[in-house]
A and B are shown apart, each in its own frame.
Chain A
Amino acid sequence: MKLIFEKTVPGRRAVQTGPGDVPTMNVRSSLLRERAAELPELSELDVVRHFTELSRRNFGVDSNFYPLGSCTMKYNPKVAEHIASYPGFAQLHPLLPQLRMGGMLTQGALQVLYEIDLLLREITGMAGFTMQPLAGAHGELTGMMIMAAYHKDKGNKKTTVLIPDSAHGTNPASAAIAGYDVVSIPSNENGVMDIEAVRRHLNDEVAGLMLTCPNTLGLFNPHVKEICDLIHSVDGLAYYDGANLNAIVGKARPGDFGFDIVHLNLHKTFATPHGGGGPGAGPVGVREELVPYLPVSVVVKRSDGTYTLEYDHPKSIGYIAPFYGNFAVVLKAYVYILMLGKEGLRRVAENAVLNANYVKEKLKSHYRIAFDRPCKHECIFSISDQMAQNGIRATDVAKALIDRGFHPPTVYFPTVVHEAIMIEPTETESKETLDSFIDAMIEIAEQAGSEPEKLRSAPRTAPVCRPNETAAAKDLNIAYL
């Protein structure tokens, strides 16, 4: 397909600007660009057709089943998009509250921020939240900065953060960027962080722990509370990576497990769209003692029932986003929580876990299951048997699923499982959808034995087939100039 720049017809226009109802201003020519930027010259119809064609070459949750493990690709309710486009929200200038009495001009938006804070506290068992982190990884960094501020304040000399080997790569990267050395803790034979290994690595240098629970293997660590207690015994802080909260939302709370800092991925558990890779939102919650360290500004409710922003929190880690976070994303999550309510959230976890176990049980006689016990929101298989017998790899299974109309699961992660394939169905998918996916997976397992070469040449139905990633990195072409 042609690039939009290759479709240019000189002189063609899509937009008429203006009105130009004032005299022209001639800025000194040395301050001007020499040539106009070579942007496309197209009609509105050309542009609409180009992007419609691109959208046909893309696959979303609305297209079909998208069981991408660890990403919680659940259905994104349309009502949330609708509400976020209300002019009262979409056209609201973020600097208004910084004007004198300006907070009164944004009472509706401040109320949304205030109320979702209260709801997330109750959902997680934390004492206070900031909505500012602009993504999950940004929440992790914010959490690590809070951890660092806490230790600095107490005069603690701490240098390391413990992270299990099954963690998302963002965990060690966030800890490192906040200035910590990372100690990787191995998983035990049950697939969870080994409490004995934690004990072995525990010393006064440990600033804290980052843990995803249930972890990326879809397993809940039964010793999670004891692990948090151990960390506290050296005045460390326990950080809960909320990437997998969907498995326990409405059923259990990280605060009750002993965690001190929590980040949530609103684009996962709280159903805001992933947008092709963002925007997301990664609010961070903390227990009481850490509330003073949260970023500013902070939304508060005054005794007269109005809302305002506070900036003067001397212990705060400061400003991590320009304003109040990805407000429109936070708003969509707020809408979702209001619609689900207590009962709905509990059913989310129950059905997410049921759907994952259903897929696991139905497939475990066809693929090697990594850990054969009830899982939480996702299940992990290894393609190692098919690889040993027919040289079929996880990527071949993934590509074969494309030809059967499904988005593939996550592959090659977590790295602790050989040729991993990680399936997260989410609660919104129906039994019929799961059954057709299961049938496709079984058919692929059979084809791995009978016609392995067919799997290796999949997909046949997609616009492209197995782009050469090595060549892309070697002969770098990242802009059409």
Chain B
Amino acid sequence: MSELLQYIITGLSVGMVYALIALGFALIWKSSSVANLALGQIVLISSWFTYAMLVQASLPVWLAFPLVILFALGLGWTIERFALRPLIAQPILALITVTLGIGYFIEGVVTFIWPWSVDALPRLFPRDVVHIGPAVISQEYLWVVGICLVVFVLLTLFFRYHRMGIAMRATADDQRAVQACGIPVTAVFSRSWMFACVVAAIGGILIASIGGITQGLVETGLKAFSVVILGGLDSFLGAIIAGPIIGLCESLGGGYLTPHLWPGIKDIIPFIIIIIVMVIKPYGLFGEERIERI
């Protein structure tokens, strides 16, 4: 019983982080309908940058985090300005492969600068255990859940009340109408990439603070795609609900299936979910089913 509760809480908290990274995807998809497959690598490089700030430059946390946020903003701006903007209105194949190329490039940069490829972030959250009923849980999971919730609330408020947030939603709805209203669409794209990178970076730091920085973070970014697929590509609500579901499936499946199957089943459960969703309900739980015309 305590085992079950433990699986549920770790699953939920990891799932929240997946949801956060998935939000980074949905942000870009909603405003510019570009599928960002470099998400995993963005998560990876931002966690390494955090490592560089905190450990290599040994900056205090209050200085390091603004720098990481700035780095993520710069990364997003650079990618959008130099790789995506020349490709506006290109076929989707080009848009997908360009992000793959960017991801490949970032992976090269990461091995270039941090060739030892595995390291741990310093403790960001206290690791004292908490007792919830019969379960014993490291406190950091609760911190992760808390931070994710705060970011969700901030993003929701931003999209509801801020001018830029409203402009982004409008762009997602109809690009041409937005352009006619005088909203600079390219600026909206640029902002959405910047925000997406920040959100992905926060997700990356949270995951890396628990599990350390490894090449597996790229896979974490890819797992976030299962959240987007399950929740529906263009739905924030879908991402927030699907994230914990995926996290739960992963943690429960990893906990209870491993003795019966081969080890490592945990790592591919999200991918199996992708296949299942694709066959049964390809547009996800909350996604809008596109009706095409010729």
Do A and B originate from a single complex?
no
**Residues of chain B at the chain A interface (Cβ within 8 Å):** none
